[in-house]
Structure formats: structure tokens, C-alpha cells
Structure 1
Amino acid sequence: MSTPFDQHRYQVRHEWGAAGLARLAPADVVVVVSVLGEHEAVPIADAAHAAGSLVLLGGLRNASAVASAIADEQALRGARTSVSVIAAGEETSAGVRFAVEDQFGAGAVVDALVRRGIDHTSPEAAAAGEAYRGLGRAVRHLLTAGGTGQRLIAEGRREDVMRAADLDAGDDPRVYAPALSVASSPRAASPE
């Protein structure tokens, strides 16, 4: 049964954390975004994989590669492919903490999808895409100034933060497969 919050009417959807994934209508492809902390991505990716979705790990560094893999998947299917872009945020005892880096990573993926013509986006996805487009030139500064970035810099990990801010530095869509790190091709980890 659909709800006003499942975004089922849209091809590209956006939500936060494991609860957000559960709130959305099932999707053919789920992109999990955790720009500065992949440990937050694993439970979300596991849940999406268990639901039968092709799961990609995306963000600023591979937004275009992820969008290309989704466009290829759609061409392979020969039909509109639904996509849920899940910003992992940081799970806390009070719920998911908004992580600005994940907002920008999700927005970069949405923007890359729109540039490929996969643009029937929910208002939530459109807002993420516009946040990225409007502030994209400042992403490096915003990642270092945000809470997670500041914590990592204080731990001596400034280079990790700077590396995470490199837009489209990689061409691997990072297909998720449980018990494996990642597979190299989008079809390699897709459900049978």
C-alpha cells in the first residue's frame, strides 16, 4: 500500500538512512551515499540488497559513473528503472544526523542522472540536486567546514576529507555485494 511519503510516483527518489529506505517504495536500483563514512552505508546497502535491488555505492567521487551505470541498467531492462538515492547520514540514538557531505553526494548523483535524461525526480530528490548545483563550487570548503569533516580533520584525516570532495575522480560505480567489498560491473552483483 502506497503512502504520501513513499515517492512511488517518481523515477528518482531521495531519503535519509535505513528508515528512509524503508519509507520509500521498492526501487530497481538503490544508490547509498556515505561520502565520509562508509560504515554507515553497510546496513542500508544490506537491506536494499535483501529487497532485491541493484545496490550502488555513490557520492561525489563517482556520481557520473553511478549515473552511467543506472542509464546502462535502464537500457538493458528496456523500461523505466526506478532509483532511490539514500543519503546515509550518521545513525545516532536520536535518529539519523543530517550530514551535509551526504546531501551533496546525493545531489551530485541526482544531478548526474538528470544530465542523462533520468529526470522524473521527486521533490526531495530535486531539492538535493539543486543544493548540489547551487553550492557545487564550494563543496570542498563545505566538506572541510562541516561537522563530520571537522571531526576527521581533528583526527588527522584532512587528506581523506579532501579526497572525498574530488568530483568524478573515479569511474567505478561501486556495485555492492554482501560479504564482498564491491564488484566491478553493475550486472555482477544484481539479483538473480
Structure 2
Amino acid sequence: MTSPYAQHGFGVGFDWGPAGADAVPGDIVAVVDVLSFTTAVTVAADLGIDVYPYRWRDETAVAYAAQHDAALAVGRSQAGPDGVSLSPVTIRRAQNLERLVLPSPNGSTISQQLSATGATVIAVSLRNRLAAAEWVRQRPEARVTAIAAGERWRDGSLRPAVEDLWGAGGFLSALRRTDLSPEAGAAVAAYEAVASQLPTLLHECAGGRELAAIGYDEDVRIAAELDQSRAVPVLQDGTMFRST
């Protein structure tokens, strides 16, 4: 019996986090982690940098980066003036960077998880939502799912992050399809309700305030560069986001 959570019968679906990614299949799955994984991926793609998603920043990540002859992103607080981290600012200022292993407990983890399903996985943010939607519209028969990565509370439970809801809704709105599940329709409505106020609201939402409080307001500003990127990073061979 088809799961009631699969949004079966609709061509476009939406859900949250790793469990939602498992529950709602798609031929094309857009992972949305606005603050900051998918924003960082689009910034890298603009610069021709290939991004390897990885779940954890540990000794296995060091070996994985060496295997792919790639730089390993460090924690934001460890980056210093020349290091590269999940902060889009550090990626934009990097010199001679071609390949980057980018650990993230949310967007990166979901991307790796989806790589085993056979779906085409793309990285979507507010920066490239239009470009991604245009790319997907060239594949009109595909079932499309948007997964808002969300964040984590201290106890490990999912914290739905409104910036990811807006990013997913903005992408789904730009698809201009009529076969949306109720969940996907709700995401579209959430985006359209705030689209004209997004740069301001992105700074005012909990995720934006959190980054600003620890000195990363510029990362929020980059994430708010609505429709400024033409890159569509696609996960290839289950390992690497490369811009089409």
C-alpha cells in the first residue's frame, strides 16, 4: 500500500529534513538549505568550484578530501582570514580553489542520503531558484520534490527553518506547475506572501539573527541575493555538485 506521506498522485511534492526526503520520492529532488549549505554550493558553482557533500567534519572527511584531491571546509570559527568553511563569504574570497569537501549536518547529509535513491539531486537556494526552475521545466514529465533541510535543536530534533520554506516555495512557485501537492502548495503560498520583503525578513528570521549574532551577517546578505545566480548544481555520480 502506498504510504499516505508520499504525496502520491501529485507531480510536485514538498517535505522537511532527512525523514521527509525518505518519505516523498521524486525523479528530481531539490535540496534547500538557505543558511547556508545550498547557498554555499551556488556561490561555489558560480566560481566553477566542484562541491563534494559530506555528513561529518571528522577524520573520515580528511581522508575523503585527500581521495578527491579537494580542500576540506573547516568550521566557521576555525576558518581565519584565508580558510574556507560553510560560510559563503569564505568561498567567494578563496583563491585557486577547484574542489571542496563541504560537510553539513543538514543539506549535505540529505544530499548524500538522496544520492543512493537514483533521483537527480540539485542544490537550490534563493540565489538560484529561477535558474533551477528553468532547468527542471525542460523535463516536464519528471516528478519533482523539494526538501527543506531545516536546522537542529540542541536535542537533535528537526527545527523547521522558515528560510528553507521560503527557498523551497520560491523554487516551486517558479516551476509554474498546477499539479502541486497540498504541502507543495503551502510552501508556494509561504514564499509568495513574503517575496517582496525577503532581504529584510531573511535577516530578521531566527536563522538570520543567529548568524548575525555570531558575526556572519554577510553570509545572510549573500543568501538574500535573490535570483542572482544562474548556476544549477547537480549531484553527479552521487559524490559531486557540478554546475550544469
CA contact (8 A) 2:127 2:223 kept: yes
1:58-77 aligned within 5 A: 58-74=124-140
Q: Distance in 2 between matches of 1:168 and 1:142?
A: 16
CA contact (8 A) 2:32 2:148 kept: yes
1:81-96 aligned within 5 A: 81-92=142-153, 93-96=155-158
Q: Give how far 1:2 is off.
A: 1.0
Output the aligned Cα RMSD. 1.3
Q: Distance in 2 between matches of 1:62 and 1:154?
A: 26
2:220 is aligned with 1:161? yes
CA contact (8 A) 2:5 2:23 kept: yes
Q: Give how far 1:42 is off.
A: 1.1
Q: In structure 1, list runs of 5 or more residues that go unmatched.
A: 75-79, 186-192
Q: Which residue of 2 aligns with 1:179?
A: 239
Q: Which residue of 2 aligns with 1:13?
A: 13
Q: Distance in 1 between matches of 2:158 and 2:178?
A: 27
The code of the aligned residue for 1:36 comes to: L
CA contact (8 A) 2:234 2:242 kept: yes
2:163 is aligned with 1:101? yes
2:192 is aligned with 1:126? no
Normalised to the residue count of structure 1, the TM-score between the two structures is 0.86
What do residues 80-123 of structure 1 show as CA deviations (whole Å, max 9, x unaligned)? 21011000001343521011110100110011111xxx331001
Q: Which residue of 2 aligns with 1:57?
A: 123
The code of the aligned residue for 2:115 comes to: H
CA contact (8 A) 1:34 1:102 kept: yes
CA contact (8 A) 1:27 1:83 kept: yes
Q: Give how far 1:64 is off.
A: 0.8
Q: In structure 2, list runs of 5 or more residues that go unmatched.
A: 38-103
CA contact (8 A) 2:122 2:233 kept: yes
Q: Distance in 1 between matches of 2:235 and 2:163?
A: 20
Normalised to the residue count of structure 2, the TM-score between the two structures is 0.69
How many correspondences in the alignment? 175
Q: Distance in 2 between matches of 1:137 and 1:84?
A: 25
Q: Which residue of 1 aligns with 2:23?
A: 23
Q: Distance in 1 between matches of 2:232 and 2:11?
A: 19
Q: Give how far 1:139 is off.
A: 1.2
CA contact (8 A) 1:113 1:119 kept: no
Query: Kindly, what percent of the aligned residue pairs are identical?
Result: 37
What do residues 145-177 of structure 1 show as CA deviations (whole Å, max 9, x unaligned)? 111111110121111101111211100111124
Q: Distance in 1 between matches of 2:32 and 2:122?
A: 9
The code of the aligned residue for 1:37 comes to: S
**Over alpha carbons, which structure has the higher Rg?**
2
Q: Distance in 2 between matches of 1:46 and 1:73?
A: 23
Q: Give how far 1:61 is off.
A: 0.5
The code of the aligned residue for 2:109 comes to: P
